[in-house]
A and B are shown apart, each in its own frame.
Chain A
């Protein structure tokens, strides 16, 4: 694996303005993504996983309060680009996304082939016929009969629509694909087939993925790096090999212990309590009210990301200075 960094995110913040107050949906997010890396972003619902995906491709709602930080793509800070340049040069050209439930967002009145080809027609001004031909080839590569290009969305099964959504994300040859729960509505066998497909095309196209999921088992199918998000903050960033064998953050440990397994006899345990409100989060470490190891410092002061090993960072006082 080469070590070329394709994406580097520094201090990314995204706050929403709501009637009840400011929601700090993402706060101080930092990570690097290398060529052919798969970074799994895991956490419970409402922790900011999908917000991160949206922030990276700048698909944002209107009630933005703060949107700042650096998103450096191949050495260029794309936060400086205006909307039009970002649309023309970055979104779908460099970073594309398979949204959660993408398979249900096809337009019912257009043929699948045309919809898969649409980014080419719009971004590259490719002639419609040629674009559809390309879509057809790509769909075949995704394990769909190319005749399916002539079909309408309702004529395809969930698994086939998801393959089409992936083809649509790949048609402009992006470097990074964000997968936001790409298999969450699919059956177990179909899910395994899609994961096999994602593995294959990653190698074939030399892609990097940001894989957003709440399922740690599924994450391990693709990821070589894992980022755990809790209440809008990254709390652990590590290689998958280290994360799955020795997670450091108490939240990461709890999450891993809560996964029921088929192949071991370990009984799953749960983390008591619930994630905090992002409008009025607890003081200090946001996890301290649920943490077994919390002491006075945890509620008083928010920990920084401490380096605990090679490319391994943890936001927890247990690993902080003076401990």
Chain B
């Protein structure tokens, strides 16, 4: 018994040390990790609704506590938690129940590789960019599986649309990311940020940044590219059969986590992360990512939805050439020593 008590005391002592000295547990649970992300999610939901309301001359959430109804997302989440879970008779039950949780895990996994500053990173990894992009790429597969598991025509059409859309934006996205990796000669996010020391990659590779940004908005499934969940055409698209807390989890993972993760990815890859680095470097990263998120949320209030054909045509006709030209320019510039470092 003494050993167990001693062990518990040691664990508690370690946790206290970890939490006060920003160790791995602190990073995973509090700052770049869970607690921070969920608080940010609440603020983002509120901000998105309020901003769309202001642009469209409405008022938006108002009554649910706090100033200007800022507790509305919490009220919504409690409402979701107490709603009945309906599983369709014809659905693939195991997949249907498991997929929301898998989607949340997949959507949040890239946060582990994303640095807020040189040391504020949950899992330092020399292949961070590849890992993050791999998880980002995995999400449309979950959408397709969800559409299939729901066994509903709207959900299935939504899933097929997601797959069709992915065919369009996937290649430009990876080619643009390759330009960043080539310029910094690393897949490590810390090195990527530090190789943007004089000029951000958004300025030295504007074509790649533009292609990546458009592909990123499509990957998030946000207006103007929310083709898989076009509410006016196919109800809610791929998650139409979900109710209650499972719907809530999908909203968090698909709407918010992807928004946050990809905005942070864009910040780190193109907007110089925590550079210029004086003061509090985490704040620089956060402010830049927040501006990107704000911009993407603002699209929802302003733009209509594109047709799927228009989007795929644009992706193959314009985005793919843009990203390939960008890659060739970067390739040529590396020989001139423009990006510094050892020449290949």
Q: Do A and B come from one complex?
A: no
Interface residue ranges, B against A (CB under 8 Å): none
